Amino acid sequence: MYNNSKVAKAIRLAMMFGAGAAAAISAPTFAAEEGADEVEKIQVTGSRIKRADMETSSPMSVTSAEDIKVSGFTRVEDMLNTLPQIEASSTAFEANGATGRGGLDLRGLGSHRTLVLVNGRRMQPGGGSSGSADVNSIPGALVKRVEVMTGGGASVYGSDAIAGVVNFVMDTDFEGIRIDVIAGGYQHNNDNKYIQGLMDKRDFEYETGQSDIEGKNYGLEITMGGDFADGKGHATSYATWKRNDEMKFGTRDYTSCALNATGTGCGGSGNAVVPNFYLSPVGADGHFDWDNYEYLTLTPDSNFTPSVGNVYNYNPVNFFMRPDERFSLGSFVNYEINDHVQPYMEFMYMRDQTKGQIAESGTFFNEEYNIDYDSPLISDAQRQYMTDAFGIMPGEEFSTYIGKRNVEGGARASIIQHDSFRIVLGSEGEINDNWTYDTSIQVGSTTVGTQYINDFFAPRITTALSANGESCADTTDCVPYEVFAYQGITPDAASTLTGVAAQAQYSDQFIFSAYVTGEIDVTSPFADTPIAVVIGTEYRKEDYERVVDEVYDKGLLLGQGGPTHALSGGYSVRELYGEASIPLVEDAEFAESLIMEVGYRYSDYSTTGDEPTYKIAFDWTPMDDWKVRASYNRAARAPNIGEMFANQGLGLWTGTDPCATATPEFSQEQCANTGVTAAQYGNVVKSPAGQYNGLYGGNPDLSPEIADTLTLGLVGQITDEIDFSIDYWTIDIEEVIGTIDEDVTLEQCANSGDAAYCDNITRNNAGSLWTGQQGFITATNINLASRAWEGIDVTAGYNTDLFGNSFSATFMGTQMLTKEYEPLPGDPDAIYDCAGSISAKCFPQPSWRHVVNVNYDLDDWGFNAKWRYNSSVSNDDWKLDDSGVPKAGNDLLVREDLGSESYIDLSVRYTVNENLVTRLGVNNVLDREPPMTGNTMDPGAFYDQLGRYIHMSVSLNF
């Protein structure tokens, strides 16, 4: 059916598809090149059609098992996040708002737009309402290769493949027993003179000099495989244990203080160790009088004085890297009854426990308290101050917002446990000589339990202050909150004021899939190879439920930023799909081969109705060793459960209010558009921590996102040793599901007065967006206008013999040309492009990223060097406007662009004997630090966070 020379050409060309692609060629395929009469048909990412070669019209990069081992990481996502096509999503470096999951974000379009597969089948949801996969459950030791395909994939695999597909191919043919022992940790020289100088001005403590190895991580992976039943069956099983220790921000000098918005000083939170107070008489409406107030702090003699610069440095306590412990086990089994019935099973289970710690709780100016002037908590000197300042007299009340950090009670923390499993039961086999089938049932489930501990419990604070009608004296076990006394709060008293919130999340997935693939007896007049097709159906059901206690539901913890409500929802989808691979021309003068691929999927969602997706692609080989490929994909992403069904509630966003301070950035007219009165202008208080209230939640009337993706590429082999590929791609998304950035809402409302923006701004009676919970910006889910991503991927490989030994070098790079956001349709002034930029809207987006890998094998030794590079990033927020004035009043640090960054990784492998292999490596050898930015800018996750990473491993094979 296929002659060996044609297959050999296909294999040789397939190996050019990208760095590491040679690892993607299966053993049966190589056997075919060596002269076997029968060629096994295989399936590649991006198609369900089984082929006798590895050709595909979609750009695809491959990461081999050895690449993963060389990196030394115990977490799969850490390795993949170094690839230029992937931006970091959920990682172990999240503490505030930690989910415990590990996510993959292809092209920076979000993990919910990246479809993750295991052996070509969808992974189960990772436990969040978005349905995104948690790659923590992937057993790194069993990964044969990781295929990253860009350019859609929705017509083949269904929803969520807008950015592309990441497919983990497992080594289900493993033979023997292998034990891998892994250890690593981070080390850094704390010598950042700039940040140390800022901390010296504040008398802050910080680490100096060379650190010990910190954030240690350990891993034990056992893999077993072999045949049974006289070779009719094969089973591969694994068990893993992984653990890493915590690291705090205080372990690094460059994160030991909370930078102010401009990056020119150590800022912090007005929710301080020594409390700050907004103090006023009770107004005519019974509330705080924002027309007659003072901002005060305590003096050592427990009197009041105007507060100037009394802020808390909350950074050192926060976890830089969460502690984590993970167990996983699983098995992949197949059995051949006969050529027609070959059942298989996949089973994966994981339990993960982690803890996200952040700075201590506090009162956060979150509640308004009306307290008796005669309260025993108030000193005579304080009463006299209130009388002199406001005329408050005995028998009356005063009103206050309090900013007191609970340093006496210790840090807040989320304790998170994930339990997940995935079971696939199916059968495949031949129908006849030309047709095969595959049918399966897949069940996946994830349970996440979270306890949030050591946060101030709002009702207890109210009672302990005997405020707002509450009485501490009449409440059992109530200890008065001595916040008006300098250092008057003891640890025992603080422990009575905290509470615990608990929630559980349940994600369930069921998939039935069946398809047939084969050849039809139809050929093009100019080709000998028949048309190959696949026809299939799939039913998928997703359910999610979040159960919360009353503490979460009512937002009774002051450090939560608002309530977390219960959520329950689900959807189902019925799908029919088909693909065809049509050889148009073969062995012609102008075309060794010209193949057209088409695909169509009809999806009927229980929530949003029907939505078709489709693709057309061309694969042209004009001559030996050269290929031109092009594809167009229409992709769709149905709104996930959280986007549709989440209850609306308050949360926090980080940024600035341009109408705050005595000298607002916006004019009075602009601020009036945002809801600031003439009397409030110049008197609106800014948040010392740069955090403001937002109203967030779902929308059941959402429509699916629609995306058009286009790729055009060239693959070539220049010599027997050198090959390359270059691909241009675009992703244009309409009806984007998301929220309008809060700072965009403020800016556009101020400049235009457009109700589409201004109606989403609610200020409290002081014009504030952060004191209390009455001021906020609404940012609930809507179908926005569009996003347009555009870029170029380049890969190259070089393989040769050097001094009689194997030498190879691979290159993988991505040029991001456009990363354009359009918040609302019809408003071109609101469009912004994040490619190569950093701003309040964009975390650093290097326009060019690349990875160069060099390997040299010398007898029993193997040497690897890797160069990871990020291009410089332009700081758009300080560039000059048309009049030559900086756009913002930033100074020094964040007025500068971020320079380019290079990381060098080195490792060595020694094969002691056929049973024992050892590895030692250092990543980020030069100990480069991440860039420092102010608190309104995210330094991003393209940069190594903790300094150099030292790792070693031992592999035992039996």
Would you say 673 and 580 are in contact if contact means Cβ atoms under 8 Å apart? Answer: no
What is each CA distance from 133 to 83, 165, 389, 445, 661, in whole angstroms? 18, 12, 58, 11, 43
Q: How confident is the model at residue 25 (pLDDT cuts 50, 70, 90)?
A: very low
Rounded Cα–Cα distance for residues 771 and 685 (Å): 9
The number of residues making up the chain comes to 958
pLDDT of residue 52: 54
Of 796, 799, 798, nearest in space to 811 by CA? 796
Q: Give me the mean pLDDT over the 602-609 stretch.
A: 94
Q: Give me the mean pLDDT over the 688-709 stretch.
A: 88
pLDDT of residue 54: 43
Q: Which residues 6+ apart lie within 8 Å of 405 measured at CB? A: 269, 271, 272, 273, 312, 314, 359, 360, 361, 362
Among 36-45, 284-293, 379-388, 664-673, the range scoring the smallest mean pLDDT is: 36-45
Of 82, 55, 68, 85, nearest in space to 20 by CA? 68
Q: Quick one: three-class SS letters along 308-362?
A: CCCCECCCCCCEEECCEEEEEEEEEEEECCCCCCEEEEEEEEEEEEEEEEEEECE
Q: Give me the mean pLDDT over the 884-905 stretch.
A: 64
Q: How confident is the model at residue 889 (pLDDT cuts 50, 70, 90)?
A: very low
Residue 586 in this model has a pLDDT that exceeds 90: yes
Q: Which residues 6+ apart lie within 8 Å of 585 measured at CB? A: 524, 526, 527, 591, 593, 594
- Which two structure tokens, joined as six digits, stand for 716? 């070539």
Q: How confident is the model at residue 913 (pLDDT cuts 50, 70, 90)?
A: very high
Of 741, 931, 749, 768, nearest in space to 840 by CA? 741
Query: Which residue do the tokens 């000197």 mark?
Result: 381
Residue 508 in this model has a pLDDT that exceeds 60: yes
pLDDT of residue 87: 83
Would you say 580 and 532 are in contact if contact means Cβ atoms under 8 Å apart? Answer: yes
User: What is the four-CA torsion angle of 144, 145, 146, 147, rounded to 10 degrees?
Assistant: -130
Rounded Cα–Cα distance for residues 228 and 247 (Å): 46
pLDDT of residue 51: 57
pTM more than 0.85: yes
Residue 373, classified by CB atoms within 10 Å of its CB into exposed (0-12), middle (13-18) or buried (19+), is middle
Among 45-54, 262-271, 925-934, the range scoring the smallest mean pLDDT is: 45-54
Rounded Cα–Cα distance for residues 586 and 591 (Å): 6
Residue 17 in this model has a pLDDT that exceeds 90: no
Per residue in 518-569, pLDDT (tens digit) is 999 999 999 999 999 999 999 999 999 999 999 999 999 998 877 889 999 9
Residue 302 amino acid letter: S
Rounded Cα–Cα distance for residues 230 and 678 (Å): 87
Mean of pLDDT over the chain: 88
Beta strands per DSSP E along 803-872: 805-822, 832-833, 837-838, 848-858, 861-870
pLDDT of residue 390: 95
Rounded Cα–Cα distance for residues 674 and 669 (Å): 9
Query: Which residue do the tokens 């349709």 mark?
Result: 825
Rounded Cα–Cα distance for residues 283 and 768 (Å): 17
Q: HSE-up of 718 (CA within 13 Å, CB side)? A: 9
Of 43, 92, 81, nearest in space to 438 by CA? 43
pLDDT of residue 337: 96
Share of residues in the chain with pLDDT > 90 (%)? 66
pLDDT of residue 689: 67
pLDDT of residue 66: 83
Rounded Cα–Cα distance for residues 351 and 328 (Å): 6
Residue 6 in this model has a pLDDT that exceeds 60: no
Residue 4 in this model has a pLDDT that exceeds 60: no
Would you say 624 and 595 are in contact if contact means Cβ atoms under 8 Å apart? Answer: no
pLDDT of residue 152: 67
Per residue in 792-834, pLDDT (tens digit) is 999 999 999 988 899 999 999 999 999 999 887 777 877 889 9
Residue 289 amino acid letter: D
Q: How confident is the model at residue 939 (pLDDT cuts 50, 70, 90)?
A: low
Residue 739, number of CB atoms within 10 A of its CB: 21
Residue 31 in this model has a pLDDT that exceeds 80: no
Among 170-174, 809-813, 838-842, the range scoring the smallest mean pLDDT is: 838-842
β-pair partners for 867: 852, 904
pLDDT of residue 844: 82
Rounded Cα–Cα distance for residues 934 and 894 (Å): 7
C-alpha torsion sign, points 409, 206, 249, 244: negative
Complete domains list, the chain, with CATH: 4-170 (2.170.130.10)
Rounded Cα–Cα distance for residues 761 and 205 (Å): 40
Please, what is the end-to-end C-alpha distance for the chain in angstroms?
40
pLDDT of residue 894: 46
Residue 659 amino acid letter: C
pLDDT of residue 882: 52
pLDDT of residue 24: 31
Category of 148 on φ-ψ map: left (φ > 0), alpha (ψ -120 to 50) or beta: beta
Query: At 308, is the secondary structure helix, strand, or coil?
Result: coil
Look at 670 and 874; give whichever has higher pLDDT: 670
Pairing between β-strand 104-106 and β-strand 86-88 as defined by DSSP bridges: antiparallel
Share of residues in the chain with pLDDT > 70 (%)? 91
Would you say 115 and 161 are in contact if contact means Cβ atoms under 8 Å apart? Answer: yes
User: What is the four-CA torsion angle of 113, 119, 124, 125, rounded to 10 degrees?
Assistant: -30
Per residue in 317-372, pLDDT (tens digit) is 999 999 999 999 999 999 999 999 999 999 999 999 999 999 999 999 988 999 99
Q: Give me the mean pLDDT over the 479-492 stretch.
A: 94
Rounded Cα–Cα distance for residues 702 and 786 (Å): 15
Query: Which residue do the tokens 């005997």 mark?
Result: 466
pLDDT of residue 74: 79
β-pair partners for 519: 532
Residue 580 in this model has a pLDDT that exceeds 70: yes
Would you say 788 and 729 are in contact if contact means Cβ atoms under 8 Å apart? Answer: no
- Which two structure tokens, joined as six digits, stand for 602? 């009809």
pLDDT of residue 879: 54
Q: Give me the mean pLDDT over the 892-896 stretch.
A: 49
Rounded Cα–Cα distance for residues 560 and 651 (Å): 8
Residue 242 in this model has a pLDDT that exceeds 90: yes
- Which two structure tokens, joined as six digits, stand for 367? 């509640």
Beta strands per DSSP E along 121-213: 121-122, 143-150, 164-170, 176-187, 189-190, 209-210
Rounded Cα–Cα distance for residues 449 and 824 (Å): 37
Per residue in 431-467, pLDDT (tens digit) is 998 899 999 999 999 999 999 999 999 999 999 999 8
Q: How far is CA 76 from the centre of its chain?
A: 13
Would you say 190 and 214 are in contact if contact means Cβ atoms under 8 Å apart? Answer: no
pLDDT of residue 599: 93
- Which two structure tokens, joined as six digits, stand for 219? 């891993």
Of 532, 404, 506, nearest in space to 450 by CA? 506
